[in-house]
């Protein structure tokens, strides 16, 4: 059986119409069988029809399967023939009882075995009132084995589905944990970069304010005191900044934040790295090159880095174009590729979320969506 056909059958069996369709078809078959085999009583006919019709409610009301199994046994006890419709209905009913755990499997099999024994004894009394050979119990043995097989199969299917649900829940928990870890790693990276950028600037303010009190001639006492207050405030801000950034870090022993962070001057190395792994990229720079704040250059570099990473990950072999546009009051960054697009990445990836956070920290904005001519497009505006 092909995979597509097997999948279609599973979809059909899982549909809400399957119990009604199968129950109705089995009831129609039972009616035809009763017409073909006319030697039966009213009890047998009602038992065969009821055992088939009751299966239509087996999914919404699994307990009705017990009625179907009982009706099948009654129809068999009332006559000498075991109808095909009653046999199939009884086995399907036992499967349903085990599948939905209407009762413990041992109780279901035990109860079915006792009822089968009662039917067998009734047949012995009716047909062989003076015979007591163990061979006459073969009917009870066959019925018990059939009930055991049907209930066991239903219980096995139920156990397998529970295992699959537990596995899916465990995978969801692992995925959630990985997402939290990725978010923590991104926060730690942002904390390290903010430490480099902001602490450097604040420390420069403190040093310049304090040195001004010694290097500036004819400085009035009021101005000297003002510079010293600026230096003291800057040092206090540095202490508070380190404390707040420490909250963002996942590893208190992390000391990598002291490493120099890249700027737009390092874009050439980033482009070369992308090409070295087989990527195709073109760098376009427009506008008058001006000296930007360190935070702006660092964010622009990281946005380009993440954009090229996404191209390699989701559109390998695509041609990428990186555009840097120096505008009078802002820096525009654009990363586009001609790949097949990256559906769902905007909502599921932590990289794009981190890019948007970088832009938002500078008061800018970043959008990521499929390009107008195909591929994927990331656009950012970073005020400075």
Ramachandran angles phi, psi of 325, nearest 5°: -120, 115
pLDDT of residue 321: 94
Q: Which pLDDT does position 131 carry in this prediction?
A: 63
- Collapsed DSSP state (helix, strand, coil) of residue 191: helix
| Residue 94, token pair as written in the block | 């036992």
pLDDT score for 249: 57
Grouped pLDDT means (10 residues each) for the chain, 384 residues: 72 81 90 81 88 90 91 87 88 93 92 91 78 75 93 93 90 84 76 66 72 76 82 75 62 49 85 82 90 85 87 83 92 90 49 80 88 88 88
Kindly list the distances between the CA atom of residue 181 and the CA atoms of 178, 250, 257, in Å, as whole numbers in the listed order: 5, 9, 19
Name the burial class of residue 350, with classes exposed (0-12), middle (13-18) and buried (19+) by CB atoms within 10 angstroms of its CB. Answer: middle
Note the pLDDT of residue 346: 45
Match 């602490």 to its residue by tokens. Answer: 199
Contact between residue 94 and residue 154 where contact means Cβ atoms under 8 Å apart = yes
| Of residues 142, 35, 126, the one with CA closest to residue 77 | 126
H or E stretch including 337? strand 330-337
- What is the structure's pLDDT at 336? 93
Long-range contact list for 192-195, CB < 8 A, 24+ apart? 192/249, 192/254, 192/256, 192/257, 193/257, 193/261, 193/298, 193/302, 194/241, 194/245, 194/295, 194/361, 195/241, 195/242, 195/245, 195/257
Tokens of 25: 């078809």
Question: Can you read off the two tokens belonging to residue 148?
Answer: 């055991």
How many CA atoms, within 13 angstroms, populate the side-chain half-sphere of residue 374?
A: 7
Query: Who's near 156: CB < 8 A, 6+ residues apart?
Result: none
Contact 290, 324 (CB under 8 A): no
Distance CA 236, CA 202 (A): 10
Residue 166 CA from chain centroid, whole number: 13
pTM over 0.85: no
3-class SS of residue 136? helix
Q: Which residues of 39-49 are buried (b: 16+ CB within 10 A; e: fewer)?
A: ebeeebbebbb
**CA 102 centroid distance within chain:** 31
Cα 368 from chain centroid? Answer: 22
The pLDDT, as a whole number, for residue 197 is 64
Q: DSSP characters for 347-381?
A: HH-HHHHHHHHHHHHTT-EEEEEE-BTBSEEEEEE
Helix (H) or strand (E) holding 132: none
């Amino acid at each position: 059986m092909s995979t597509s056909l097997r999948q279609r059958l599973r979809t059909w069996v899982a549909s809400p119409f399957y119990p009604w369709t199968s129950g109705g078809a089995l009831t129609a078959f039972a009616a035809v069988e009763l017409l073909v085999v006319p030697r039966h009583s009213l009890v047998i006919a009602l038992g065969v029809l009821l055992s088939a019709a009751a299966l239509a409610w087996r999914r919404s009301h699994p307990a009705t399967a017990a009625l179907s199994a009982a009706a099948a046994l009654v129809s068999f006890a009332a006559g000498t023939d075991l109808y095909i419709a009653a046999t199939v209905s009884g086995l399907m009913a036992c499967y349903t009882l085990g599948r939905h755990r209407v009762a413990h499997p041992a109780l279901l099999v035990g109860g079915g075995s006792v009822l089968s024994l009662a039917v067998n004894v009734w047949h012995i009394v009716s047909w062989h009132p003076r015979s007591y050979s163990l061979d006459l119990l073969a009917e009870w043995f066959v019925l018990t084995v059939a009930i055991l097989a049907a209930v066991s199969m239903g219980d096995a299917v139920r156990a397998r589905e529970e295992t699959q649900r537990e596995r899916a829940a465990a995978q969801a928990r692992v995925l959630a944990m990985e997402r939290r870890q990725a978010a923590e790693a991104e926060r730690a990276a942002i904390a390290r970069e903010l430490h480099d950028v902001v602490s450097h600037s604040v420390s420069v303010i403190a040093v310049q304010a304090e040195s001004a009190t010694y290097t500036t001639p004819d400085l009035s006492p009021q101005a000297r005191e003002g510079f010293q207050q600026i230096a003291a405030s800057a040092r206090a801000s540095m202490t508070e900044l380190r404390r707040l950034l420490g909250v963002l870090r996942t590893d208190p022993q992390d000391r990598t934040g002291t490493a120099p962070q890249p700027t737009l001057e390092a874009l050439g190395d980033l482009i070369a790295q992308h090409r070295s792994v087989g990527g195709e990229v073109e760098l376009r720079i427009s506008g008058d090159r001006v000296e930007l704040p360190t935070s702006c250059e660092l964010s622009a570099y990281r946005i380009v880095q993440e954009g090229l990473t996404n191209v390699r990950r989701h559109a390998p072999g695509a041609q990428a174009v990186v555009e840097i546009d120096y505008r009078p009051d802002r820096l525009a960054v654009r990363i586009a590729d001609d790949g097949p697009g990256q559906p769902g990445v905007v909502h599921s990836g932590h990289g794009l979320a981190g890019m948007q956070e970088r832009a938002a920290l500078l008061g800018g904005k970043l959008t990521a969506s499929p390009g107008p001519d195909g591929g994927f497009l990331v656009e950012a505006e970073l005020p400075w």
